[in-house]
């Protein structure tokens, strides 16, 4: 009974038998990781394809070449050097005359209305600018490239299906015939749509631009950054380095963490109640938007700042204190530079979130239809995500492609901010 | 490398380490192991720093119990003892670095220039310029070598113009024995130097603010023997101008560099005296046990 027939296995042999299962588990885990990343990348690619696919056409604009006679009796201008007269003149009449001249066979009011829709109302601005630049053109015939009307633009880009029967189409056969005639004469072209990138919003999609929203977002973010960075860093430094460790500071820390999780629309309500109603700041201004977004970004910066400060090794502080530096000198000269990469990352994360926030801005009124490009922080403005929301809501076909184009602009903004973050991190990184 | 040591130190160096349990060792200590009062002369005439009744508490635990000790002018005082006996804690009291530790309480008087620097109303910033510290692990700032040394004089206003700062940097690095090695790379980061060079850079940084006392907390424990020898040479030179307190784990080092030695044991100051007396003829049995290697 005490005879051992089989010897006890050596520990090494026991380990070896279990190895197969362990290796299989590791392979599975690696597979899960690769699968997760692949899935994420697939969705990212799908996102880009769908957005860029729908939006890239917005960067091109169909333009029509017209011969416009700047007849003084149509324009009602006596003196071409008088700026006021030139500004107030009726360029619409000139364009209509030009169109009638191009298609003299068109009669009847209904048909003529359709004819005039071939060209966008933006043509009037082009003519006005020409006359302002060169008053001697009055009475002469000029050849101008003007943006085509919205429907023609959509047909040229293929968003309106020509093969459908006429009753199901927005454009009539007659309009298509005129368009084909212009194409044959070589008077229709697709050109890069600079107007999209340089003007503000408009009711007609072919004249709508993103620049107003870009400037609004830029001004709002500038205000946010100028306010939240110093305040956030100072708060983080105080809480981490100088504040005594007692119940109050624990309470403050808990509250800051909670604020970081508050839904952003609550900050919008706060902005409406305090900044607009109590302080009386102008509605829809980037200043108010910036203040609201500052409140939203501060907790993120404070939390990232504290983590970055905590990660600086205490030996640096001891060395500085040992030489006789005061606590503030220790922080500003030694601790803060070492913590900068982490703080900057926190700031860029906060800014990226602020750039994409719509809800708080809706509450303070940056949702209005603003046509002018804002020049200062007190001018009414709108922001990129709000603009996307407004355009997504609009029925015109032209706005559908512009929504996707605006999303592309927003993504470019975000990618540049992240690239900036990476560059700044590299610059400030030190090894110790 | 010639080391300039005096006769007594030479003697001490040769007789410092006695192997335990040698048959012919005469046990000369007389004071029993249970006795915890300080044996020997803790006081000197005309001290640089005088410590009276120092007690240090970390929360409720007491780390230093009723220590009275003087540091004299132009001398090196070595503090030896087993790990955890409170030598570093006591050293840090002398420039109020224990303030940076939460929950640490220091009671008693520390008199420097007739002023009690342990009082709450003392401004520790000029105190730390007067009493400099070199830490165990070399901790140069992650900045250029020049900036490392120039930081102290600049913030204290000891040198203002670039020319003055250059002068201070050069003289400090020369005294620390580092100038020849770094003079053509002053703008390179201090962290790119070797361990021994980094420690000498830290010493240069400390002496750049012209302190009167230098505290060294096991400065050579992380270094190789050659760097250690250089730093011990440096300590000997600095002794002519400063008072130095050095905490060390190595009894041989204590014997080599110091004039007086203090032995700490579990928070008590057991024995203080001239170095050669401590190492050849200790009075307290605990000191003798430690010296002969029975524990520690």
Q: Minimal CA–CA distance to A64: which of A103, A90, A107?
A: A103
Whether chain B has a CB inside 8 Å of the CB on A332: the answer is: no
Which of helix, strand or coil describes residue A215?
helix
User: Is residue B110 within 8 Å of B51, Cβ to Cβ?
Assistant: yes
Whether chain B has a CB inside 8 Å of the CB on A430: the answer is: yes
Of the two residues A84 and A354, the one the predictor is more confident about is A354
- Per-residue pLDDT, averaged over A263-287, amounts to 91
Which residue among B102, B125, B141 places its CB closest to the CB of A324?
Answer: B125
Q: What is the CATH number of the domain that holds B70?
A: 3.40.50.300
Instruction: For chain A, give the mean pLDDT.
Output: 88
Joined together, the tokens standing for residue A105 give 């066979």
Q: Which of A21-30, A80-89, A422-431 has the lowest mean pLDDT?
A: A422-431
pLDDT tens track, chain B, 296 positions: 444 445 555 554 554 444 344 344 467 888 888 888 888 889 998 899 999 999 999 999 999 999 999 999 999 999 999 988 889 999 999 999 999 888 899 999 999 988 999 998 999 999 999 999 999 999 999 999 999 999 999 999 999 999 999 999 999 999 888 999 999 999 999 988 998 899 999 999 999 999 999 999 999 888 888 888 888 988 998 999 899 999 998 888 998 899 999 999 999 999 999 998 888 888 998 898 888 887 76
Residue B76 lies in a domain: yes
Q: Minimal CA–CA distance to A377: which of A272, A271, A289?
A: A289
Q: What tens digit of pLDDT does each residue of B273-291 get?
A: 999 888 888 899 889 888 8
Whats the size of chain B, residue-wise?
296
Whether chain B has a CB inside 8 Å of the CB on A312: the answer is: no
Q: Minimal CA–CA distance to B148: which of B209, B195, B196?
A: B209
Whether chain A has a CB inside 8 Å of the CB on B137: the answer is: yes
C-beta atoms of B139 and A323 within 8 A: no
Residue B131 lies in a domain: yes
Of the two residues B206 and A75, the one the predictor is more confident about is B206
- Per-residue pLDDT, averaged over A61-86, amounts to 81
User: Is residue A339 within 8 Å of A380, Cβ to Cβ?
Assistant: no
pLDDT for A324: 92
Split at pLDDT 50, 70, 90, the class of A3 is: low
- Of the segments A64-68, A206-210, A227-231, B282-286, which one has the largest average pLDDT value? A227-231
Q: Minimal CA–CA distance to B170: which of B160, B187, B182, B158?
A: B182
- Per-residue pLDDT, averaged over A367-379, amounts to 85
Residue B52 lies in a domain: yes
Of the two residues A333 and A421, the one the predictor is more confident about is A333
Spacing of C-alpha A317 from chain mean position: 42
CB contacts under 8 A, A 214-253 vs B, are 245
With a cut of 50, say whether residue A351 has pLDDT above it: yes
Residue B182 lies in a domain: no
CB < 8 Å to A244, chain B: none
CATH level 2 (architecture), domain A211-428:
Orthogonal Bundle (1.10)
User: Is residue A314 within 8 Å of A407, Cβ to Cβ?
Assistant: no
Interface residue of A249, A320, A322 to substitute, partner B, most B CBs within 10 Å: A322
Tell me what percent of the residues of chain A surpass a pLDDT of 90. 37
Q: What is the DSSP letter of B73?
A: T
pLDDT for A313: 92
Whether chain B has a CB inside 8 Å of the CB on A317: the answer is: yes
Distance from CA of A334 to the nearest CA of B (A): 8
Joined together, the tokens standing for residue B72 give 């004299």
In A284-329 the beta strands, taken as DSSP E runs, fall at none
- Of the segments A117-126, A166-175, A186-195, B41-50, which one has the largest average pLDDT value? B41-50
pLDDT for B7: 58
Provide the number of structural domains found in chain B.
1
Q: Minimal CA–CA distance to A94: which of A113, A112, A76, A115?
A: A76
Distance from CA of A351 to the nearest CA of B (A): 29
Whether chain B has a CB inside 8 Å of the CB on A334: the answer is: yes
Whether chain A has a CB inside 8 Å of the CB on B129: the answer is: yes
C-beta atoms of B95 and A317 within 8 A: no
- The model carries a pTM of 0.79
Other CB atoms within a 10 A radius of the CB of residue A191 amount to 11
C-beta atoms of A321 and B128 within 8 A: yes
Residue B14 lies in a domain: no
Residue B5 lies in a domain: no
- Per-residue pLDDT, averaged over A119-146, amounts to 85
CB < 8 Å to A245, chain B: 102
Find tokens 């203080």 and name the residue: B272
Domain that holds residue B58: 36-139+215-291
Whether chain A has a CB inside 8 Å of the CB on B206: the answer is: yes
pLDDT for A105: 84
Residue B63 lies in a domain: yes
CB < 8 Å to B117, chain A: none
Distance from CA of A427 to the nearest CA of B (A): 14
Measured at the CA of B181, the angle between CA B176 and CA B186, to 5 degrees, comes to 90
The burial class, CB within 10 Å (0-12 / 13-18 / 19+), for A49 is exposed
- Per-residue pLDDT, averaged over A302-323, amounts to 93
pLDDT for A432: 45
pLDDT for B4: 47
Domain spans of chain A? 60-192, 211-428
pLDDT for B18: 42
pLDDT for B49: 93
With a cut of 60, say whether residue A177 has pLDDT above it: yes
Q: What tens digit of pLDDT does each residue of A353-368 get?
A: 898 888 999 888 888 7
């Amino acid at each position: 009974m005490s005879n051992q027939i089989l010897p006890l296995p050596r520990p090494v042999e026991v380990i070896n038998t279990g190895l197969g299962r362990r290796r299989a588990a590791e392979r599975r885990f690696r597979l899960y990781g690769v699968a997760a990343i692949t899935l994420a990348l697939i969705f990212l690619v799908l996102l880009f394809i769908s957005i860029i696919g729908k939006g890239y056409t917005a960067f091109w604009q169909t333009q029509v070449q017209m011969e416009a006679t700047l007849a003084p009796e149509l324009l009602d201008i006596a003196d071409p050097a008088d700026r006021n007269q030139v500004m107030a003149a009726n360029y619409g009449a000139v364009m209509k005359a030009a169109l009638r001249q191009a298609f003299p066979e068109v009669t009847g009011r209904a048909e003529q209305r359709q004819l005039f829709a071939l060209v966008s109302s933006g043509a009037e601005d082009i003519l006005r600018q020409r006359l302002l630049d060169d008053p001697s053109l009055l009475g002469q015939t000029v050849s101008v490239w003007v943006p085509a009307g919205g429907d023609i633009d959509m047909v040229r880009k293929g968003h309106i299906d020509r093969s459908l029967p006429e009753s199901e189409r927005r454009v009539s056969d007659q309009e298509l015939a005129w368009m084909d005639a212009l194409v044959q004469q070589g008077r229709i072209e697709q050109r890069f749509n600079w107007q999209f990138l340089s003007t503000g919003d408009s009711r007609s999609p072919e004249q709508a631009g993103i620049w107003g929203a870009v400037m609004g977002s830029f001004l709002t973010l500038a205000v946010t950054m100028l306010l939240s960075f110093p305040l956030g860093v100072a708060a983080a430094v105080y809480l981490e380095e100088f504040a005594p460790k007692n119940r109050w500071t624990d309470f403050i820390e808990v509250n800051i963490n909670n604020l970081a999780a508050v839904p952003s629309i609550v900050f919008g309500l706060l902005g409406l109640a305090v900044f607009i109603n109590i302080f009386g700041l102008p509605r829809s201004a980037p200043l108010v938007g910036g203040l609201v977004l500052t409140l939203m970004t501060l907790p993120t910066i404070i939390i990232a700042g504290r983590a970055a400060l905590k990660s600086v090794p205490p030996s640096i502080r001891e060395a500085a204190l040992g030489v006789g530096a005061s606590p503030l000198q220790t922080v500003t000269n030694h601790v803060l530079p070492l913590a900068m990469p982490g703080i900057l990352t926190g700031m860029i994360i906060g800014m990226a979130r602020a750039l994409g926030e719509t809800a708080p801005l809706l509450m303070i009124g940056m949702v209005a239809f603003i046509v002018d490009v804002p020049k200062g922080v007190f001018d009414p403005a709108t922001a990129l995500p709000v603009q996307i929301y407004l355009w997504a809501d609009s029925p015109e076909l032209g706005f559908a492609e512009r929504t996707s184009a605006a999303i592309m602009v927003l993504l470019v903004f975000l990618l540049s901010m992240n690239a900036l973050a990476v560059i700044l991190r590299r610059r400030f990184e030190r090894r110790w | 490398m010639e080391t300039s040591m005096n006769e007594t130190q030479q003697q001490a160096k040769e007789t410092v380490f006695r192997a335990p349990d040698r048959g012919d060792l005469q046990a000369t200590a007389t004071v029993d192991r249970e006795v915890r009062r300080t044996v020997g002369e803790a006081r000197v005439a005309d001290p640089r720093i005088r410590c009276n009744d120092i007690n240090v508490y970390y929360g409720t635990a007491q780390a230093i119990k009723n220590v009275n000790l003087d540091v004299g002018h132009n001398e090196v005082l070595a503090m030896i003892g087993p790990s955890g006996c409170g030598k570093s804690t006591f050293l840090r009291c002398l420039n109020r670095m224990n303030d940076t530790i939460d929950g640490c309480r220091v009671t008693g008087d520390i008199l420097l220039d007739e002023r009690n620097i342990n009082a709450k109303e003392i401004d520790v910033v000029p105190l730390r310029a007067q009493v400099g510290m070199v830490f165990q692990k070399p901790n140069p700032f992650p900045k250029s070598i020049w900036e490392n040394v120039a930081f102290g004089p600049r913030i204290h206003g000891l040198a203002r113009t670039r020319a003055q700062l250059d002068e201070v940097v050069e003289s400090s690095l020369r005294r620390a024995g580092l100038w020849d090695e770094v003079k053509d790379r002053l703008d390179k980061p201090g962290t790119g130097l070797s361990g021994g060079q980094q420690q000498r850079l830290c010493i240069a940084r400390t002496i750049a603010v012209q302190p009167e006392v230098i505290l060294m907390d096991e400065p050579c424990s992380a270094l190789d023997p050659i760097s250690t020898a250089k730093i011990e040479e440096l300590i000997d030179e600095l002794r002519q101008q400063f008072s130095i307190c050095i905490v060390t784990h190595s009894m041989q080092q204590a014997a080599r560099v110091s004039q007086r030695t203090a032995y700490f044991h579990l928070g008590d100051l057991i024995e203080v005296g001239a170095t050669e007396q401590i190492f050849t003829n200790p009075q307290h049995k605990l000191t003798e046990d430690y010296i002969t290697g029975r524990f520690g």
